[in-house]
Chains A and B, each alone.
Chain A
Amino acid sequence: MLKILRERLRQGHRTARYPKEPPLLPERFRGAPRIDPGRCVDDCRLCAAACPFGAIEPAAAGVRLDLGRCIFCGECAAACPTGALAFSRDHRLAARCRDDLLAGPDGHRLAIALDGEMRRLFGRSLKLRQVSAGGCNACEADLNVLNTLVFDLGRFGIQFVASPRHADGLLVTGPVSENMRSALLETFAALPAPKLVIASGACAIGGGPFRGSPECHDGIGALLPVDLYIPGCPPHPYTALDGLLRLLGRL
């Protein structure tokens, strides 16, 4: 007992002061992209050519980056000769609509809160059932991190639960392998209405690194009605937490 107390005193209190203080992310972290069309060289397209997943397309001014396809590998920024495309350390990425994930010179449209009855029901207490559907387990690993004392997800009234019957929403990771399709749909059906669906990670939004695999469905878009998209490969725990809190109108 004394040993436990001694070690507890040594290790100290480690819960982050988020959201009172913004998270400090590493220098090389790749978060929200910054696009400066003024620096774009006409018809350069080097960034688009460098993207392995077709996330970049030309736009009226400069380019647009689809954060739903992006895995934040940074190869586009490395290929850009002028610095017109770069990644910031801004962890805030989540959006409510698929089209809101298209980032341009003005950034992209961050998630807005649920409204009316949905916010009244879930704003102070949200229970989520998570389903892995063909990913690589990194999304799961960094979601589990939210339950550590650093993030302490419970203090926000959000909890992952075992039974879909106890859940208010379904959080899906993975590109939806064909072998998980029916289990995913059955889990969704088992949630009582009204219910939310969250696509977390590049795979669940657009297939991620497995986009185009004949064994996968390029994400949940064609299978389920999505209320929140959390980009990243995997999303940083702060990106996921930011998205959940935005959805609940807590940020």
Chain B
Amino acid sequence: MSPLHAAIPVANGGALPLADLPLLGRGHFTGALLAEVAEGARVAALFATPGGRDLELYAVLARDGRGDLAVLRTEIAEGFPALAARCPELQLFEREIAEQYGCTPGGHPWFKPVRFHRSWRTGRDAWGRGAARPRPAVQEFYRVTGDEVHEVAVGPVHAGVIEPGHFRFQCHGEQVMHLEIALGYQHRDVERLLLGGPHPATPHQVETVAGDTSVGHASAWAHLCEALGGAEVPPRGAVLRLAALELERLANHVGDIGALANDVGFLPVAAFCGRLRGDYLNATAVLCGNRFGRGLIRPGGVSADLADEQAAALRERLAPVARDTRGALELFFDTPSVLARLEGTGHVAAADAAAVGLVGVAGRACGLKRDARAHYPLGAYRAAGVEPAVKWGGDVYARAAVRREEVAVSLALVDQALAGLPPGPVRTASGALRPHALAVALVEGWRGEIVHVALTDAAGRFARYKIVDPSFRNWTGLALALRGEQISDFPLCNKSFNLSYCGFDL
């Protein structure tokens, strides 16, 4: 079998019996994975689970050009050879596996903990740290030394009302030579809380993987349950889901433009966008009572209908919000003193972005045409025909410009959705989950690609639940964006990515 045919295809939002997944030899797995990557595939997820002689290793490949996904499986023992040097987008996944299961990826070029928790298998620690609980950010940081070199340490508690994380800057005067980011402070053990489920708490835990992406994560989870439970979401439910996901995108993109405006000192747009963001959150609350969409997305559809006249009223209410949004964005992008601060700041080279596997807004701003809504559309996105908004600058300006373009598209999508809700029910029964199966779902959240993968046991319970928030990949992008920048531009660069700490920390 040629390495390019070893991976078993699976549709997005689809499932396949584990028996259909050959347990490849380690060499065969590596050859197939690298061959797929050489052909343009990306690694959407790489994770381990107990099985085989010790651990089984799964790779989910995303073949954007072909619009399909594929899965590879092998087994690993206590150690396994790292592929990170040859395929840098794997580096964090391999560290994560090492931290969770206490097995060592040999030859890993940047072998450090990810979230600073105890190994999931007592007595096995990949760093030999003994029985004591690891402390966050206790690791060797990359350091630059020299007479005029200094180190700046920030966090975990930052200046604003934001999440915790630790940042180490290696600086020469104002200039940052290297930034290293240590996270894990928000670690709640989400993946293990989901084991044996779905439990009654599961939907709520999924919605709070990253609270600003409740609809995105809940959508991915619901798609998995539907794939494993054999449910088809009715058209009206599917369109309402699309409206909710796009409202989430609008709230966050508009809020992010406002935050950028604030950081460059352009207060009119900061003030407008702060208010407008709330208008989009309030629109989501019309759907389900909660500004973050909690409780709306459920397996089989959505939890509550929106009557045609309610949809018409919401549409009418959003029209002036859309106008004000366009006005605010126009002002922002039409002001030379703003553009001067954005252009060329926080640049990430396209080749670096591709190598580390950036996704979402950050990836598209570097010319990477990646948007799960376009490549792997689910539900109402199949008919929506979303085109990825791609820019090539790789700088703060490009990340802002991607958002501006996506705001326009999302406004149109929400308007169409509310204008043309198909008749019928919004939810169907989603049955018990199929046993011994793998299901995968990619959803384009507002930050980027959300990947959920579930493996079920003999009773149809979750034996492994893997979550990849877009922030998992994109924090590396922020670190790269700071190279050669002034440290005083860190807030601006940071806002242009606006990544999730809790989505990374799980």
Taking a contact as CB atoms under 8 Å apart, the answer to whether A3 and B334 are in contact is yes
Taking the closest CB of chain B, its distance from the CB of A230, in whole angstroms, is 14
Looking at the complex, which one of B186, B295, B328 makes contact with A135 (CB distance below 8 Å)?
A: B186
Stretch in B42-50, B207-215, B405-413 touching the partner:
B207-215
- A179 to B501: give the CA distance in the assembly, Å: 13
Stretch in A103-111, A113-121, A145-153 touching the partner:
A145-153
The contact size tier of chain A is: 35 or more
B51 at the interface (CB under 8 A from A): no
Stretch in A57-65, A191-199, A207-215 touching the partner:
A207-215
Q: Which B residues from 226 to 252 make CB contacts under 8 A with A?
A: none
A187 partner residues in chain B, CB cutoff 8 A? 157
Closest A-chain residue to B155, C-beta based? A183
Closest B-chain residue to A29, C-beta based? B289
Looking at the complex, which one of A8, A74, A177, A214 makes contact with B185 (CB distance below 8 Å)?
A: A177
Closest A-chain residue to B186, C-beta based? A134
A216 at the interface (CB under 8 A from B): yes
A210-B188, A213-B188 given as contacts; is B275 within 8 A of A142 (CB)? no
A233 partner residues in chain B, CB cutoff 8 A? 204, 208, 294
Taking the closest CB of chain A, its distance from the CB of B50, in whole angstroms, is 18
Closest B-chain residue to A4, C-beta based? B268
A73-B204, A140-B161, A162-B159 given as contacts; is B288 within 8 A of A28 (CB)? yes
B193 partner residues in chain A, CB cutoff 8 A? 210, 213
Looking at the complex, which one of A7, A72, A138 makes contact with B272 (CB distance below 8 Å)?
A: A7
A50 partner residues in chain B, CB cutoff 8 A? 200
Stretch in B73-81, B278-286, B420-428 touching the partner:
B278-286
B117 at the interface (CB under 8 A from A): yes
A82 partner residues in chain B, CB cutoff 8 A? none
Taking a contact as CB atoms under 8 Å apart, the answer to whether B289 and A30 are in contact is yes
Taking a contact as CB atoms under 8 Å apart, the answer to whether B188 and A74 are in contact is no
Taking a contact as CB atoms under 8 Å apart, the answer to whether A52 and B201 are in contact is yes
Count A/B pairs, Cβ under 8 Å: 178
Overall SS of chain B's interface = loop
Taking a contact as CB atoms under 8 Å apart, the answer to whether A209 and B271 are in contact is no
Looking at the complex, which one of A14, A73, A175, A210 makes contact with B295 (CB distance below 8 Å)?
A: A73
B164 at the interface (CB under 8 A from A): yes
A174 at the interface (CB under 8 A from B): yes
- A27 to B159: give the CA distance in the assembly, Å: 36
B174 at the interface (CB under 8 A from A): no
Q: Which B residues from 288 to 313 make CB contacts under 8 A with A?
A: 288-292, 294-295, 304
- A178 to B199: give the CA distance in the assembly, Å: 23
Taking a contact as CB atoms under 8 Å apart, the answer to whether A136 and B210 are in contact is yes
Question: Chain B CB within 10 Å — which of A133, A139, A180, A213 has the most?
Answer: A180
Taking a contact as CB atoms under 8 Å apart, the answer to whether B160 and A162 are in contact is yes
B346 at the interface (CB under 8 A from A): no
Closest A-chain residue to B188, C-beta based? A210
B502 at the interface (CB under 8 A from A): yes
Taking a contact as CB atoms under 8 Å apart, the answer to whether A135 and B211 are in contact is yes
Taking a contact as CB atoms under 8 Å apart, the answer to whether B278 and A150 are in contact is yes
- A211 to B275: give the CA distance in the assembly, Å: 33
- A107 to B253: give the CA distance in the assembly, Å: 39
Taking a contact as CB atoms under 8 Å apart, the answer to whether A136 and B211 are in contact is yes
Question: Chain B CB within 10 Å — which of A136, A145, A211 has the most?
Answer: A136
B502 partner residues in chain A, CB cutoff 8 A? 134-137
Taking a contact as CB atoms under 8 Å apart, the answer to whether A28 and B187 are in contact is no
Taking the closest CB of chain B, its distance from the CB of A165, in whole angstroms, is 12
Taking the closest CB of chain A, its distance from the CB of B267, in whole angstroms, is 10
Taking the closest CB of chain B, its distance from the CB of A104, in whole angstroms, is 23
- A27 to B314: give the CA distance in the assembly, Å: 12
Encode A14-45 as 1/0 by CB contact (under 8 A) with B: 10000000000111111000000000000000
Taking the closest CB of chain A, its distance from the CB of B36, in whole angstroms, is 34
Closest B-chain residue to A24, C-beta based? B282
A143 at the interface (CB under 8 A from B): yes
B291 partner residues in chain A, CB cutoff 8 A? 142, 236
- A245 to B395: give the CA distance in the assembly, Å: 42
- A233 to B304: give the CA distance in the assembly, Å: 19
Taking the closest CB of chain B, its distance from the CB of A142, in whole angstroms, is 7
Looking at the complex, which one of B163, B184, B274, B290 makes contact with A132 (CB distance below 8 Å)?
A: B163
Q: Which A residues from 185 to 244 make CB contacts under 8 A with B?
A: 187, 208-211, 213-216, 233-234, 236
Taking the closest CB of chain B, its distance from the CB of A136, in whole angstroms, is 3
Closest B-chain residue to A184, C-beta based? B157
- A72 to B285: give the CA distance in the assembly, Å: 13
- A224 to B324: give the CA distance in the assembly, Å: 44
Taking a contact as CB atoms under 8 Å apart, the answer to whether B208 and A136 are in contact is yes
A150 partner residues in chain B, CB cutoff 8 A? 274-275, 278
Question: Chain A CB within 10 Å — which of B185, B189, B214, B272 has the most?
Answer: B185
Taking the closest CB of chain A, its distance from the CB of B278, in whole angstroms, is 6
Looking at the complex, which one of B159, B201, B285, B286 makes contact with A209 (CB distance below 8 Å)?
A: B201
Q: Which B residues from 461 to 506 make CB contacts under 8 A with A?
A: 500-502, 505
Closest A-chain residue to B283, C-beta based? A26
A135 partner residues in chain B, CB cutoff 8 A? 163, 186, 208, 211, 502
A131-B157, A149-B274, A179-B185 given as contacts; is B204 within 8 A of A71 (CB)? yes
A4 partner residues in chain B, CB cutoff 8 A? 268, 331
A142 partner residues in chain B, CB cutoff 8 A? 291
B133 at the interface (CB under 8 A from A): yes
A179 partner residues in chain B, CB cutoff 8 A? 115-117, 136, 184-187, 505
Taking a contact as CB atoms under 8 Å apart, the answer to whether B212 and A73 are in contact is no
Taking the closest CB of chain A, its distance from the CB of B190, in whole angstroms, is 8
Taking a contact as CB atoms under 8 Å apart, the answer to whether B188 and A175 are in contact is yes
- Pick the 5 closest A-B CB pairs, nearest first: A138-B211, A136-B211, A28-B289, A148-B274, A52-B200
B→A interface (CB under 8 Å): 115-117, 133, 136, 156-157, 159-164, 184-190, 193, 199-201, 204-205, 207-212, 214, 268, 271-272, 274-275, 277-278, 282, 285-292, 294-295, 304, 324, 327-328, 330-331, 334-335, 500-502, 505
A to B CB contacts below 8 Å, 30 in the list? A7-B328, A11-B324, A28-B304, A52-B204, A131-B157, A132-B186, A134-B502, A137-B502, A138-B212, A140-B162, A140-B163, A141-B211, A142-B291, A147-B274, A148-B274, A148-B277, A149-B271, A150-B275, A177-B186, A177-B188, A178-B133, A208-B208, A210-B188, A213-B189, A213-B193, A214-B189, A215-B189, A216-B188, A216-B189, A234-B211
What would 20 more interface pairs be, CB under 8 Å, given A71-B204, A215-B187?
A: A3-B334, A10-B327, A27-B289, A28-B289, A29-B285, A52-B199, A136-B208, A139-B211, A148-B277, A174-B186, A177-B186, A179-B186, A180-B136, A183-B164, A209-B201, A209-B204, A210-B193, A213-B188, A214-B189, A233-B208
